Structure 1
Amino acid sequence: MADGAVSINMSAEECAIQALADRVMSQIADLFFAQHITPTPVQQQMLVSHVRAMALRSRTGEPLPEVEEALFEDISPDSMTLAQQVVDLFGNLPVEEAWLLSVHFEVAKNEG
């Protein structure tokens, strides 16, 4: 647009991805509340971005790059369990998604 305005014309698929991400973020907020986890604003923004990417992969079937489980051996069982609960909400994502997501929970628990 010539006046510098940004067009907000999202496709139906983009809307579905965002709606899925919003639903999952709402459920994460409930999990955080129950676990007394308070992420910083930066941690929250990074989590939102990651969950949106997960929603995209859930809707499109796009695979993750290869991830090594050993990289996550220092993540607490609690964080891994929370992450797996969130991944289970999608219903079609691999366990590697939980490994990656668990890092967000671990950092928020320890630094938030």
Structure 2
Amino acid sequence: MPRARPGELAPGGRWAPPVRWALLDCPDEVRMRRLAARGAPPEWTAGAMADAAQGRSLATTVFTGDGDLADLAARVLAWARDAEPSMPAPGDGEKPHDQTLT
């Protein structure tokens, strides 16, 4: 059985509620510029753009940034402390999803 790397769930593992899900995003122009700088082939760029669009459509909370990392970190931390869980703890019932943050 393969071993999980640090930060990954082991095979058969489960998240322990409450869980909060958010997407860390950047503008498409920034993503394309970063991929080009890394020498990514066009098919990788197309795939990355499709993945980003899908992530935005699925995530209920999106943090967009391409500037001050301290500001982004502070916004994420404030959200993590105050946000309703995306997956409530057992017995908590259903919680509403968070608003998108930008």
TM-score normalized by structure 2?
0.28
Q: Which has the higher helix share?
A: 1
Q: Which has the higher strand share?
A: 2
TM-score normalized by structure 1?
0.26
